[in-house]
Structure 1
Amino acid sequence: MTQTGRPVWLTVLLLGLCAVLILIFILLGNWQIRRLAWKTDLIEQVESRAYGDPVPVPAEFDPDAHSYLRVTVTGRFDMEKQVLVKAVTGLGPGYWVMVPLLTGREAIWINRGFVPADERDSDGWVAPAIPVTGLLRPTEPEGTLLERNDAVDGRWVSRDVQALSQTVGLSVTAPFFIDADPSGGASAWPRGGLTQLGFRNTHLSYALTWYAMAALLFGAVTCLGLGWLRRT
Structure 2
Amino acid sequence: MTKAASPVSSPVSWRALLAPGLATLVALAILLGLGTWQLQRKAWKEGLMAQIQARAYAAEPGAIVPEAEWGRWQPADDEFRRVRITGTFLQDFETPVYGLAPGAPGHSAMQGYYLMTPLRLQDGAIVMVNRGIVPMELKDPASRPESWPTGETTITGLVRAPEERNMFTPADDPARKSWFTRDPQAIAKAHGLERVAPFYVEADATPNPGGWPKGGQTRLELPNNHLQYAVTWYGLALTLVGVFTAFVWRRLHPSEA
2:86 and 2:79 mapped to 1: Cα distance?
Answer: 19
Give the aligned partner of residue 199 of structure 2: 176
The CA RMSD over aligned residues, in Å, is: 2.6
After TM superposition, the structure 1 = structure 2 runs for residues 45-194 of structure 1, keeping only pairs within 5 Å, are: 45-52=51-58, 53-59=60-66, 60=69, 61-89=73-101, 90=103, 91-103=109-121, 104-123=123-142, 124=144, 125-128=146-149, 130-141=153-164, 143-152=165-174, 153-184=176-207, 188-194=211-217
- The residue identity in structure 2 corresponding to 1:164 is I
Give the aligned partner of residue 13 of structure 1: 19
Q: Residues 155, 17 of structure 1: CA spacing in aligned structure 2 closer, same or farther, 3 A cutoff?
A: farther
Q: Residues 187, 222 of structure 1: CA spacing in aligned structure 2 closer, same or farther, 3 A cutoff?
A: farther
Segments of 5+ residues of structure 1 without an aligned counterpart are none
**Deviation above 4 Å: which 4+ runs of structure 1?**
7-11
1:106 and 1:163 mapped to 2: Cα distance?
Answer: 16
- SS class of match (1:75): strand
Shift of residue 23 of structure 1?
1.5
- The residue identity in structure 1 corresponding to 2:233 is W
2:217 and 2:16 mapped to 1: Cα distance?
Answer: 58
Preserved contact between residue 94 and residue 114 of structure 1 (Cα < 8 Å): yes
Query: Aligned residues: percent identity?
Result: 33
Q: Deviations over 1:114-145 (max 9, x none)?
A: 1110222324252248111100001124x334
- SS class of match (1:54): coil
- SS class of match (1:74): strand
2:132 and 2:119 mapped to 1: Cα distance?
Answer: 14
**After alignment, is 181-190 or 152-161 more displaced?**
181-190
1:86 and 1:106 mapped to 2: Cα distance?
Answer: 26
1:33 aligns with 2:52: no
- The residue identity in structure 2 corresponding to 1:82 is E
Preserved contact between residue 151 and residue 167 of structure 1 (Cα < 8 Å): no
- The residue identity in structure 2 corresponding to 1:55 is G
1:204 and 1:106 mapped to 2: Cα distance?
Answer: 45
Preserved contact between residue 78 and residue 101 of structure 1 (Cα < 8 Å): yes
Q: Residues 80, 158 of structure 1: CA spacing in aligned structure 2 closer, same or farther, 3 A cutoff?
A: same
Aligned length: 227
- The residue identity in structure 1 corresponding to 2:173 is A
Shift of residue 217 of structure 1?
0.6
Give the aligned partner of residue 44 of structure 1: 50
Preserved contact between residue 144 and residue 158 of structure 1 (Cα < 8 Å): no
1:221 aligns with 2:240: no
- The residue identity in structure 1 corresponding to 2:213 is P
Shift of residue 192 of structure 1?
0.2
- SS class of match (1:174): strand
Q: Deviations over 1:4-43 (max 9, x none)?
A: xxx9887543333332222211111111111101110111
- The residue identity in structure 2 corresponding to 1:41 is G
Shift of residue 200 of structure 1?
1.7
